[in-house]
Amino acid sequence: MARKNRSRAGSARDTGDAAKAARDSAQKIWLAGLGAFERARTEGPRMFEALVEQGRTMGARAVGMADQALKTMREADYTGGRWDKLEQVFEDRVSRSLSRLGVLTRGEVDELSKQVRDLNDSLQAFMTGATGAARAKPRGKKRRAPAKGAKRAAAKATRRAPRKSRSRSKARRKAS
């Protein structure tokens, strides 16, 4: 039992020493904080002005370095050569993709617009010529209705015309 008492007494001393060390450490931290606060209060305005002055010199150096870098890029024509090449590659890829999708190019659209204008002009010319010819006919006479056989023949002719154009378009597809 004597051994047990000794170990208890030793642990009590160890606990007291640890508590004292913790109190001392906390006291030192408190005093360091008070010292830092006092120094910031007394030296704060001077320190602030020193930092502002350092900031000014750093800002001037940063602006100078940025200007120098921009000047170097302009002299090397870095932006012109490489960006133009990148832009050309991008345009080529977009053009290929659009052609695969079947989107018309600007030239093709312009050509189709010209053809539509030409057709409109010729239709207008035909219509003005047809209306002039219709006015030249006397209005008093009525047109006779075609015979029944003529109607059937006209209907057959109109039915056959689209079939011929279909077969031609199939032949064209096979050829291409």
Q: Is 57:51 a contact under the CB 8 Å cutoff? A: no
CA distance 142 to 107: 51
Answer whether residue 50 shows pLDDT above 50.
yes
| Tens digit of each residue's pLDDT (9 = 90 or more) over 65-103 | 888 888 887 777 655 567 778 888 888 888 888 888 888
Torsion of CA 86, 87, 88, 92, to 10 degrees: 100
CA distance 112 to 118: 10
Answer whether residue 134 shows pLDDT above 70.
no
Q: Is 79:73 a contact under the CB 8 Å cutoff? A: yes
Q: What is the DSSP string of 31-56?
A: HHHHHHHHHHHHHHHHHHHHHHHHHH
Q: What average pLDDT does the segment 49-71 reach?
A: 87
Confidence tier at 112 by pLDDT (50, 70, 90): very high
Q: Where are the alpha helices (DSSP H) in the chain?
A: 2-76, 78-101, 106-136, 148-175
pTM: 0.27
Which single residue is written with the structure tokens 């007291």? Answer: 16
CA distance 100 to 36: 73
Q: Is 166:159 a contact under the CB 8 Å cutoff? A: no
Q: Which two tokens mark 1?
A: 């039992």
Confidence tier at 40 by pLDDT (50, 70, 90): confident
For residue 46, the one-letter residue type is R
For residue 116, the one-letter residue type is V
**Half-sphere exposure at residue 89, Cβ-oriented, CA atoms within 13 angstroms:** 6
